[in-house]
Amino acid sequence: MELLSVLKTGAALAIVLGLMGLAAYLAKRFLPAHWSVVGPSSLVRVLSRVPLGGGREVVVIEVSGARLVIGATASQITLLARFEGDALRSEHVGSSESTTNKGAQGRGNDEG
């Protein structure tokens, strides 16, 4: 009797896990890509990330064509700069140039 009970429980567990796996596969395969939280169709793209140590980092992200430079810690996110259009191209990210002047140019200052 004991063995029969263990076999029934194991079979039920295998069926439930199999159905969960099947549901996950079908959801990934057939749900529209725009329901995805991350990926190529996402509204937010991470362009560059530089860890500063101590759980702090500077991240360049793109949201609807605007590029944002943010500082992030475990408990806080701070907007450091915002660039519109091509004011901050990806080849500038990570360079030793100061982004302060680029930020002024990116906010509509067309001098220079």
Whole-number Å distance between alpha carbons of 68 and 78: 10
Is the pTM above the cut of 0.75? Answer: no
Reported as a single tens digit per residue, the pLDDT across 29-62 is 877 665 555 555 567 888 889 999 898 999 998 8
Find out whether 79 and 70 touch, Cβ atoms under 8 Å.
yes
Q: Look at the chain and count its residues.
A: 112
Q: What is the DSSP string of the chain?
A: -HHHHHHHHHHHHHHHHHHHHHHHHHHHHHS-GGG-SSSTT-SEEEEEEEEEETTEEEEEEEETTEEEEEEE-SS-EEEEEEE-TTSS-TTTTT-SS-SHHHHHHHTT----
Over residues 89-103, the pLDDT tens digits come to: 544 444 434 344 344
